[in-house]
Amino acid sequence: MTDAAVFLTALGRQLSVMSLYGPGHNARTEGMDKITNELTMLLRGNAFPAFTFLDGDVVYEGHVLNELRHWEWSLKLGDVGIERLEVGPGTTRDALEGFLEEAHARMSLEGEGASFQEMDGQTAIRFGGVTLDPDEADVEEESHHDPLALSLEDEAEVIQWLHGEVDLHGVVPADEAAAVVKLLSVAMHSEHDVVVPLVQLKAVDQYTTTHSINVSCLSMALAEHLNFVSTDVRSIGEAALLHDVGKTKVPLEVLNKKGKLTDSEWVLIQGHTVEGAKILLASGASMALPATVAYEHHLSLNGEGYPELTFKRQTHEVSRLIQVCDVYDALRTRRPFRPPWPATRTVKFLEEKAGTHLDPEYVSAFIQMIGNWEPRQVDLESEQDEAAA
């Protein structure tokens, strides 16, 4: 049975349990544990699963789920106005439980919801009716799936949430990180050729968030340019997204300082590589590559940089690939202590550092890639930022 079918089966089972037992019952709690786990598994393969319940069948990814033909809950959900269900990455257990409570209440009252609704959560659970007007359906489908419509605001919010989770719990929510990378990959392929939608923010305290998105996009684009297989591209994107996670342990006033850093402040900055590796290693076995990159991305090809190694060695090839993208975006981004560098000056700097600080093969490939397109910029300024500007 597919992950989608398993998730929906758990969803139907939980609705059955809710009709038998009241709030707080152990059966309800155990059912929520089950369905939350199944949703986690589903999101690993599809960052934005969407289901349409049609005449007792379930349409998923454009195909009817054979395992759930004539599924009773498809009819029941459709009868109360829930003909479509969309689940976003990072959706919380509370948001999922809220949707189930709404669906159960509608069935109990035999009510119907006429509008498409959103449930509160890290990202929304959306549900509602499916329009019967073919022209309206085409417009809605095109609007929802057109990657050019992606603003990357949701991705930025999830990354900020990830950093908050690191502060609270000391580990990275791996599934949510993987989901963000998948969404970034969708945004990159919004045209026939790969186009990297680099993020620009004027709020300097959000630098780590935007830089993480940009380095992830650039790294995946470079990996694709070098013909890496798709699974490796995603792994590289995830490692790039998390390469600076150790900066969550550095005070913002130090990260955003306009003047020269003191010796103690510089020690704090340098410590983000070790702190990041510790956080990622504590986050599970799947974080081995991101932990390596977090530790190594400031180590130069000639052995210089930080953290200082007792015995100099070659860094991991993914660290060397991401390092080129990291340097490019860092120089091209406005910082509190300097304006952004022009593209030509940045490319010249990469060429100068190739063979000493940066891997020359990755520098050469990156320059060739970056010359093939002009990155699409995504402005994520808040209203407050715009007013200040």
Residue 384 Cα distances to 275, 379, 387, angstroms: 32, 14, 5
Could you count the other beta carbons within 10 Å of the beta carbon of residue 193?
Answer: 9
Q: Indicate the residue among 116, 145, 174 that finishes a domain.
A: 145
How many degrees, rounded to 5, is the angle at CA 321 between CA 315 and CA 323? 75
CATH number at residue 334: 1.10.3210.10
Cα(23)–Cα(266) distance, integer angstroms: 53
Q: What is the pLDDT of residue 119?
A: 44
| Structural tokens at position 174 | 């791996």
Looking at the fold, whether 264 and 230 belong to one and the same domain comes out as: yes
Q: Where are the alpha helices (DSSP H) in 46-196?
A: 72-79, 93-109, 134-145, 153-169, 174-188
* Among 316, 322, 371, 320, CA closest to 347: 371
Looking at the fold, whether 125 and 20 belong to one and the same domain comes out as: yes
Looking at the fold, whether 169 and 223 belong to one and the same domain comes out as: yes
Q: What is the pLDDT of residue 266?
A: 94
Cα(159)–Cα(156) distance, integer angstroms: 5
Q: What is the pLDDT of residue 193?
A: 58
Q: Indicate the residue among 145, 175, 196 that finishes a domain.
A: 145
Q: What is the pLDDT of residue 127?
A: 84
Looking at the fold, whether 119 and 153 belong to one and the same domain comes out as: no
Q: What is the pLDDT of residue 201?
A: 56
Q: Indicate the residue among 145, 170, 186 that finishes a domain.
A: 145
Burial (Cβ within 10 Å: 0-12, 13-18, ≥19) of residue 263:
exposed
| Structural tokens at position 222 | 């470079």
Cα(214)–Cα(327) distance, integer angstroms: 11
Could you count the other beta carbons within 10 Å of the beta carbon of residue 79?
Answer: 14
Provide the residue-wise pLDDT of the chain in tens; the chain has 389 residues.
Answer: 899 999 999 999 999 999 898 888 999 999 999 999 999 999 888 888 889 888 788 888 777 888 898 899 998 998 888 888 988 877 888 889 989 998 998 888 744 443 434 444 434 588 887 643 333 333 333 333 333 334 577 778 888 888 888 988 999 988 888 888 888 887 787 655 566 777 775 455 578 888 999 999 999 999 999 999 888 999 999 999 999 999 999 998 998 888 889 999 999 999 999 999 999 999 998 899 999 999 999 999 988 999 988 888 899 999 999 999 999 999 988 877 778 888 899 999 999 999 999 999 999 999 999 987 656 666 654 433 433 33
Q: What is the pLDDT of residue 190?
A: 60
Task: Give 316's strand partners.
Answer: none
* Among 156, 249, 225, 216, CA closest to 366: 225
Label the pairing between strands 376-379 and 197-200.
Answer: parallel
Looking at the fold, whether 162 and 118 belong to one and the same domain comes out as: no
Residue with tokens 């908050």: 164
Q: What is the pLDDT of residue 270?
A: 95
Domain of residue 70, residue span: 3-145
Looking at the fold, whether 101 and 165 belong to one and the same domain comes out as: no
Looking at the fold, whether 10 and 34 belong to one and the same domain comes out as: yes
Cα(209)–Cα(349) distance, integer angstroms: 24
Looking at the fold, whether 121 and 194 belong to one and the same domain comes out as: no
Looking at the fold, whether 14 and 122 belong to one and the same domain comes out as: yes
How many degrees, rounded to 5, is the angle at CA 373 between CA 367 and CA 374? 100
Tell me the backbone φ, ψ of residue 98, rounded to 5 degrees. -65, -40
Burial (Cβ within 10 Å: 0-12, 13-18, ≥19) of residue 239:
buried
Enumerate residues 6+ apart whose C-beta is below 8 A from 134: none
In the chain, how many domains are there? 2
Q: Find out whether 316 and 293 touch, Cβ atoms under 8 Å.
A: yes
Q: What is the pLDDT of residue 128?
A: 80
Looking at the fold, whether 163 and 274 belong to one and the same domain comes out as: yes
Q: What is the pLDDT of residue 273?
A: 97
- Whole-prediction pTM: 0.61
Q: What is the pLDDT of residue 257?
A: 86
Looking at the fold, whether 256 and 214 belong to one and the same domain comes out as: yes
| Structural tokens at position 143 | 């609007």
Q: Find out whether 386 and 203 touch, Cβ atoms under 8 Å.
A: no
Looking at the fold, whether 84 and 179 belong to one and the same domain comes out as: no
